[in-house]
């Protein structure tokens, strides 16, 4: 009889087990989705319930659930699922967990290879994030481990419309940028001085100090400050004026996010 008592780091243990499970799923399909969260309950029966609940919403879901008693981290591996479906499944999971009052923190959803390389460091980082975020908020975060493209990493968004701002902030933060918001021209100018963003995305119609004024002032103090105008004004004379005053680019609403991102990346080469 072998009695091997090894004191191991439970975190490492969990990471290794997760990795194993993920690799198995990875090996047979192209992608692998991982959802991590912390729970209050340690009853193993609910794992089965969770699986059946998830299957109810999607019959062909290949799920593997894993629960670590010590740290109370719940991991769900989805075979063959990209980030979008993983996100969706996270929604369903959250509903299940909240229904039975099991949720105790954030949910983090990731998909490999979209979110990054399937390595132990990445997984342990994920697990750490989940454990640290305990008790703070109950929302779902997407994990994207991309190095920010050289040059642009901080963005300032100035727009009175909240939905617009929120969308841009959400998407760019997902891609790894640091995003600051401003609701009017003077707040934008103040934050520009404070955070020195690489790119400013601004509307033209801002209270207190309008978009043109903002661009002008930014260019006055920092000649190579880059400002992209994102607005619903389609008049050619607005475009001309914006460029004359020093804007680097002009995007009209409704806009496509990938186009906006592409234009920002292009800015470093200009």
Partner 1 sequence: MGDIIRIIEYYLQDASWLNGLRSFLFAYSTFAVCYVIAITCLYYLIFGLSIRKTFALKRGIRYNRMNKLSGSAHVPPVSILVPAYNEELTIIENVRSLLSLHYPEYEVIVVNDGSKDGTFNTMIEEFRLEKINPILSSDLKTAKIRGIYYNPEYPSLYFIDKENGGKADSLNAGINLSHYRLISTIDADSLLEKDALTRIARVYMENPEETVAVGGNVRIVNSCTVEDGIVKNVRFPKKLLPALQNVEYLKAFLGGRIGWSAMNGLIIVSGAFGVFQKDKVIAVGGYRGGYPGEDMNIVIKLHRYCLENKIPYRVAFCPDAVCWTQAPETYRILSSQRKRWGRGNLKNMIEEGIHMVFRPKYKVFGLLTLPYNILFETLNPYVRISGLLAIIGYWLLNMTDWSTLAIFGLINFLSCFVLSLGALFIEEVTFSRYPTVGDLNKMLLYSLFMFLGYRQIGVWWRLMGHIDFFRNNNTWGTMVRTNFNK
Partner 2 sequence: MYSHMTSAVYIVYGLIAVNLVFAVVLYGIKFRNVKQQKAHERFHKKFKDYLIYIQANIDSEERLRVPPGRMNRLEFNLLQERLNDMIESFAGEQREKLIDLCGQIGFPTYHLQRLRGRSYRRKIDAAYHLGCMRVKEAVPAMLELLRRHKADSSLFVIARAIAKCAQDPKDIKDMVHILLSKGRSIPDLIADMIEESSIDQTALFAQFIQSGQPELIRIGLVGLKAYTAPEMAAAVYRLMDSSNKEIERKSIEIYLNSTVFLPANVVNRLLGHADAEIRLLTVQALSEHRNSAYAGALRNGLKDPDPRVVHASANGLLRMGEKGMLLFCEAAKDSRDSGEGTVLQDMIEEELHSLSARTQNVNYLTQYNALLYAYERTFGKNKRIYRVV
Q: Which residue from 70, 193, 207, 266 is in contact with partner 1, where contact means CB under 8 A?
A: 207
Q: From the list 3, 8, 258, 270, which residue makes contact with partner 2 (rule: CB under 8 A)? A: 258
Binding segment for partner 2 (CB under 8 A), chosen from 44-52, 167-175, 184-192, 213-221, is 167-175
Which helix (H) or strand (E) segment holds residue 179: the answer is: strand 178-182
CA 192 to chain centre: 23
Q: How far is the CB of 225 from partner 1 (least distance, A)?
A: 18
CB of 249 to partner 1, least distance (A): 18
Using the contact rule CB under 8 A, the part of the chain among 78-86, 125-133, 174-182, 233-241 near partner 1 is 233-241
Q: What are the contacts of 117-126 at 24+ separation with CB within 8 A?
A: 117/145, 118/19, 118/22, 118/23, 118/26, 118/32, 119/19, 120/15, 120/16, 120/19, 123/15, 123/18, 123/19, 123/22, 123/34, 124/11, 124/12, 124/15, 126/34, 126/36
Q: How far is the CB of 66 from partner 1 (least distance, A)?
A: 47
Picked from partner 2, partner 1, none, the partner binding residue 213 (CB below 5 to 8 A depending on kind) is partner 1
What are the contacts of 14-18 at 24+ separation with CB within 8 A?
14/66, 14/68, 14/71, 14/73, 14/75, 14/127, 15/120, 15/123, 15/124, 15/127, 16/120, 17/66, 18/66, 18/75, 18/77, 18/123, 18/127
User: Which of partner 1, partner 2, none interacts with 92 (beta carbon under 5 to 8 A by kind)?
Assistant: partner 2
Report the nearest approach of partner 1 to the CB of residue 216 (Å): 7
Residue 95 contacts partner 2 per CB under 8 A: yes
85 is an interface residue for partner 2 by CB under 8 A: yes
- Which residue in this structure is represented by tokens 């934008």? 188
147 or 254: CB nearest partner 1: 254
**Residue 91 touches which of partner 1, partner 2, none (Cβ within 5-8 Å per kind):** partner 2
Residues within window 24-83 making contact with partner 2, judged by CB under 8 A: 57, 82-83
How many CB atoms are closer than 10 A to CB 1? 2
Q: Which residues bind partner 2 (CB under 8 A)?
A: 57, 82-85, 87-88, 91-92, 94-95, 139-140, 142, 163-164, 166-167, 170-171, 174, 234-236, 253-258
């Amino acid at each position: 009889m072998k009695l091997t008592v090894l004191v191991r780091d439970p975190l490492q243990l969990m990471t290794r087990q997760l990795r194993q499970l993920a690799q198995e799923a990875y090996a047979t399909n192209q992608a692998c989705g991982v959802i991590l969260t912390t729970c209050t309950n340690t009853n193993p029966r609910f794992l089965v319930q969770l699986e059946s609940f998830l299957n109810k919403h999607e019959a062909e879901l290949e799920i593997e659930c894993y629960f670590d008693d010590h740290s109370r981290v719940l991991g769900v591996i989805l075979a063959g699922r990209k980030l979008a479906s993983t996100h969706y499944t996270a929604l369903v999971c959250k509903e299940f967990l909240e229904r039975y009052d099991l949720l105790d923190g954030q949910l983090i959803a990731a998909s490999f290879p979209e979110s990054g390389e399937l390595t132990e460091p990445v997984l342990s980082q994920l697990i750490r994030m989940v454990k640290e975020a305990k008790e703070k908020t109950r929302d779902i975060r997407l994990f994207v481990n991309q190095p920010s493209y050289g040059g642009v990493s901080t963005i300032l968004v100035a727009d009175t419309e909240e939905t617009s701002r929120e969308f841009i902030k959400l998407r760019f933060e997902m891609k790894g940028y640091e995003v600051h918001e401003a609701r009017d021209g003077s707040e934008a100018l103040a934050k520009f001085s404070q955070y020195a963003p690489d790119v400013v995305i601004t509307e033209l119609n801002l209270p207190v100090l309008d978009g043109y004024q903002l661009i002008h002032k930014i260019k006055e103090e920092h000649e190579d400050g880059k400002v992209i105008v994102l607005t619903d004004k389609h008049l050619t004379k607005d475009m001309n004026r914006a460029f004359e005053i020093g804007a680097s680019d002009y995007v009209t609403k409704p806009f496509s996010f990938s186009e906006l991102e592409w234009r920002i990346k292009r800015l470093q080469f200009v």
